[in-house]
Amino acid sequence: MNTHADPYIESDFTDRQGAVLEAALGLLVEGGEKAITTAGIARAANCSKESLYKWFGDRDGILAAMITYQASKVRVSARLGGPSQSAEAFRAELEVFANDLLTVLSGETSLALNRLAIGQGSREGSVLGNLLIERGRKTVRERAMVLLQSGQLAGVLRFDDRAAAFDTLYSLVVGDFHVRMLLGETVPALRDELARKEHVEQAINRFHLFYSKDHMN
Amino acid sequence: MNTHADPYIESDFTDRQGAVLEAALGLLVEGGEKAITTAGIARAANCSKESLYKWFGDRDGILAAMITYQASKVRVSARLGGPSQSAEAFRAELEVFANDLLTVLSGETSLALNRLAIGQGSREGSVLGNLLIERGRKTVRERAMVLLQSGQLAGVLRFDDRAAAFDTLYSLVVGDFHVRMLLGETVPALRDELARKEHVEQAINRFHLFYSKDHMN
DNA sequence: TGTGTACCGTACCGTTCGGTACTATGTCAA
DNA sequence: TTGACATAGTACCGAACGGTACGGTACACA
């Protein structure tokens, strides 16, 4: 679900290490956390357990590396089109963002990693949870913030608290779909394309109802 | 618990079994899923492992029993005040509901059980996840549905799809607080009473903006 | 050619855990 | 009192897992 915007945080993983983490992610997606055994990863990735411990320290290190690796892989296309846009163009951009967000969140790998972090937490200060929030959610947030900013500059939106506006947008788009998917439910509104399109449109409509200049209450 | 308790609370657990499950829940809240070992439960509850297996079958049976037990304990007070209400009274009821919802979701036990179910899922068809949705979410849903129904009958609200209205209400009230708490973050808007009150009021305001008769768009 | 480095594959160790078996203790009913 | 039953406590077993050690191999570099 993630990228990292921090320029000085880079995925210092070699190709081999990346391949190993890829295999580990495959195991995770298929079998959940219990499937992530050091022996299992070594077998799936054709590497030695000794290398695993040399590269990642211990099992928890492997889990953390899986998150940062996936985050570095799913880089978000910034795609910010300057501040001069029509209301329609901006609305379309918002819809694209909402769709991307739902696509990422409903992805198998994202769900598996979130389940992993949630399952581990909050034991040990929820290291994985923090990692996931830091590397995943914050980049989505930043992309959205840029988007909202440009909407404001274009005169389409109006708000005092941009962060609050983002929270609203996120709530309207995602709702409790995320938790339900994490619990194993197949959310109907996300399965077929039509229902999903309708949902996104309604969410964006309502967002505009709150924050567009025409609809201020 | 079976004896001399609330007639509303029914579960097929004896007092002793309830006490054991209580101890297990304590372990879960304190130490996460890894703390739920059969030996640990037996020690904490002063019972024998043999009794655990006799009562609950196996470890997964214990986990499932913990969920159903907790669900049977937290039964929601229906408190439905008939359909003839003023708009203000109904609004107040909605706020009470929203507050109760946030209180339940941010409770340690609820969070721990959700983490447990999510961590196990979706392996094995996510039995625990279904159980949690079935026994937990649906009761909240039904209480809200009654509430919304009475709001409609009182002429305060208007909607075609009551379920969709509930989803909206849930999204506005809970937002992504739930996932963030599950990931171990302490959500600021839920910590102090003031911010929380503001959040609930805004959520209900917006809900009315969507569904009250005066604000239809 | 020799030497170091990185890695694989496997064997191994100590611990933990789920699950079972057995004994001891208490309780209730006839 | 006696016998049936439920449960606590403990000991035990086999499997799985995290982590370590070691031998063998390919390759780089001098």
Interfacial residues of A (vs B; Cβ cutoff 8 Å): 31-34, 111, 114-123, 125-126, 129-130, 132-133, 167, 170-172, 174-176, 178-180, 182-185, 206, 209-210, 217
Spatial distance between the Cα atoms of A211 and B206, rounded to a whole number of angstroms: 12
Calculate helix-pair angle for A15-31, A108-120, nearest 10 degrees.
Answer: 80
Spatial distance between the Cα atoms of A16 and A37, rounded to a whole number of angstroms: 19
Interfacial residues of B (vs A; Cβ cutoff 8 Å): 31-34, 111, 114-123, 125-126, 129-130, 132-133, 167, 170-172, 174-176, 178-180, 182-185, 206, 209-210, 217
CATH of A87-215, one of 3.90.1150.10, 1.10.357.10, 1.10.10.60, 3.40.630.30: 1.10.357.10
Q: B55-112, pLDDT tens digit by residue?
A: 999 999 999 999 999 999 876 555 555 556 789 999 999 999 999 999 999 999 999 9
Q: A52-104, pLDDT tens digit by residue?
A: 999 999 999 999 999 999 998 876 555 555 566 789 999 999 999 999 999 99
Which of A178, A163, A172, A170 has its CA nearest to residue A201? Answer: A172
**Model confidence at A126, in pLDDT bands (50, 70, 90)?**
confident
**Model confidence at B18, in pLDDT bands (50, 70, 90)?**
very high
pLDDT at B115: 97
Q: A17-61, pLDDT tens digit by residue?
A: 999 999 999 999 999 999 999 999 999 999 999 999 999 999 999
- Is the CB atom of residue B4 positioned under 7 angstroms from any atom of strand D? no
- Is the CB atom of residue A55 positioned under 7 angstroms from any atom of strand D? no
Where in chain B is CATH 1.10.357.10? 87-215
Separation between the CA of B121 and the C1’ of D6 (whole angstroms): 35
Q: Which residues of B fall within a CB distance of 8 Å from A178?
A: 176, 179
Separation between the CA of B35 and the C1’ of C13 (whole angstroms): 25
Where in chain A is CATH 1.10.10.60? 15-73
Name the burial class of residue B20, with classes exposed (0-12), middle (13-18) and buried (19+) by CB atoms within 10 angstroms of its CB. Answer: buried
How many angstroms separate the CA of residue B182 from the nearest CA in chain A? 6
Q: B154-182, pLDDT tens digit by residue?
A: 999 999 999 999 999 999 999 999 999 99
State yes or no: pLDDT of A211 exceeds 90: yes
Place of tokens 């949902």: A199
Q: Does domain A15-73 have CATH number 1.10.10.60?
A: yes
Spatial distance between the Cα atoms of A32 and B96, rounded to a whole number of angstroms: 38
Name the burial class of residue B104, with classes exposed (0-12), middle (13-18) and buried (19+) by CB atoms within 10 angstroms of its CB. Answer: middle
State yes or no: pLDDT of B132 exceeds 50: yes
Q: Which residues of B fall within a CB distance of 8 Å from A209?
A: 209-210, 217
For testing contact with chain B, the best of A182, A198, A206, A217 (most B CBs within 10 A):
A182
Locate A69 and state its tokens.
């690796």
Beta-carbon contacts of residue B203 (< 8 Å; ≥ 6 apart): B98, B169, B172, B173
Q: B175-199, pLDDT tens digit by residue?
A: 999 999 999 999 999 999 999 999 9
Q: What is the 3-class SS of chain B, one letter each residue?
A: CCCCCCCCCCCCCCHHHHHHHHHHHHHHHHHCHHHCCHHHHHHHHCCCHHHHHHHHCCHHHHHHHHHHHHHHHCCCCCCCCCCCCCHHHHHHHHHHHHHHHHHHHCCHHHHHHHHHHHHHCCHHHHHHHHHHHHHHHHHHHHHHHHHHHHHHHCCCECCCCHHHHHHHHHHHHHCCHHHHHHCCCCCHHHHCHHHHHHHHHHHHHHHHHHHEHHHCC
